[in-house]
């Protein structure tokens, strides 16, 4: 398990080598695939519909981050691990379709999550390849929610939880950071979308925890050892 000079963290699990990115994404080198969880596009418009003023550019910034990741990794495939879209169809859905059209040589796939509730016809008529259950990639099982009862030869990569870790700088200062959280052969990804919350996770219950900052991914616990 090694860090690198561009802020990513190379996590050598016994079943796979994963590049954990400071942008809260995972790059699978062997598969040339970018993994993203919990983008929640359309959430800003959903809140505006309810009378809560949230600017749409928060999602546009997320699209820009994906574009930058595609440039930096050279990925030929993007797999969203659920909660791609927050709720009912709104203008953000068409922004997503336009974004996909700008990348005609890249395969975009979606493992459905609990918020992906658009009518089946909308998904069917989109350029997205849809997976209603988990997606197996060799020894990897990609899903939205963490899976239970996993075989020892399977590594589950998932989202849904929006894991965050509370860190204490001193007796008065505490702050939370998004984190990659590994336990029981499931690696839970941080939510990619900026307009998402964090769910505080217990470091003591995890086998490995890597927090993300704007500059780099920092391991604070590896193989049950606190760094």
For the chain, which residues make up each domain, given as ranges? 2-226
Residue in this structure with the two tokens 């919990």, named with its chain if needed = 38
CATH architecture, domain 2-226: 4-Layer Sandwich (3.60)
Q: In 3D, which of 58, 4, 15 has the Cα closest to residue 192?
A: 58
pLDDT (tens digit per residue) in 57-73:
666 889 999 999 999 99
pLDDT (tens digit per residue) in 148-182:
999 889 999 999 999 999 998 766 788 899 999 99
**Range picked from 46-55, 162-171, 200-209 for highest mean pLDDT:** 200-209
Top pLDDT among 184 and 41 is at 184
For 188, other C-beta atoms within 10 Å of its C-beta total 24
pLDDT of residue 59: 64
175/198 Cα distance (integer angstroms): 11
pLDDT (tens digit per residue) in 118-137:
889 999 999 999 999 899 99
- Reported confidence tier of residue 15, pLDDT bands at 50, 70, 90: confident
Q: In 3D, which of 132, 195, 142, 198 has the Cα closest to residue 165?
A: 198
Report CA dihedral (89, 91, 97, 102) to the nearest 10 degrees: -170
pLDDT of residue 144: 97
pLDDT of residue 82: 93
The residues facing 94 across adjacent strands are none
105/188 Cα distance (integer angstroms): 28
Asked if pLDDT for residue 38 goes beyond 50, the answer is: yes
pLDDT of residue 34: 98
Tokens of 70: 């595609």
- Reported confidence tier of residue 53, pLDDT bands at 50, 70, 90: very low
pLDDT (tens digit per residue) in 89-126:
667 888 899 999 999 999 999 999 998 888 899 999 99
* Residue range 34-56: mean pLDDT, rounded: 66
Q: What is the mean pLDDT of the chain?
A: 88
pLDDT of residue 115: 82
pLDDT of residue 225: 74
């Amino acid at each position: 398990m090694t860090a690198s000079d561009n802020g990513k963290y190379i996590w050598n699990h016994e079943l796979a080598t994963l590049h954990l990115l400071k942008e809260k994404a995972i790059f699978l080198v062997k598969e040339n695939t970018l993994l993203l969880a919990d983008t929640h596009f359309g959430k800003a418009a959903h809140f505006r519909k309810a009378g809560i003023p949230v600017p749409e550019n928060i999602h546009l910034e997320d699209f820009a981050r994906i574009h930058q990741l595609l440039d930096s990794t050279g990925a030929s495939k993007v797999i969203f691990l659920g909660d791609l879209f927050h709720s009912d169809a709104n203008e953000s859905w068409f922004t997503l379709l336009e974004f996909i059209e700008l990348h005609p040589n890249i395969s975009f796939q979606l493992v459905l999550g609990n918020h992906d509730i658009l009518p089946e016809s909308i998904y069917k008529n989109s350029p997205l390849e849809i997976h209603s259950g988990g997606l197996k990639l060799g020894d990897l099982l990609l899903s939205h929610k963490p899976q239970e009862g996993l075989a020892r030869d399977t590594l589950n990569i998932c989202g849904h939880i929006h894991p965050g870790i509370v860190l204490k700088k001193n007796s008065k200062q505490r702050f939370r950071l998004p984190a990659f959280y590994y336990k029981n052969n499931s690696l839970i990804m941080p939510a990619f979308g900026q307009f998402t919350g964090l769910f505080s996770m217990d470091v003591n219950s995890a086998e490995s925890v890597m927090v993300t900052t704007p500059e780099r991914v920092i391991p604070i616990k590896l193989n049950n050892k606190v760094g």
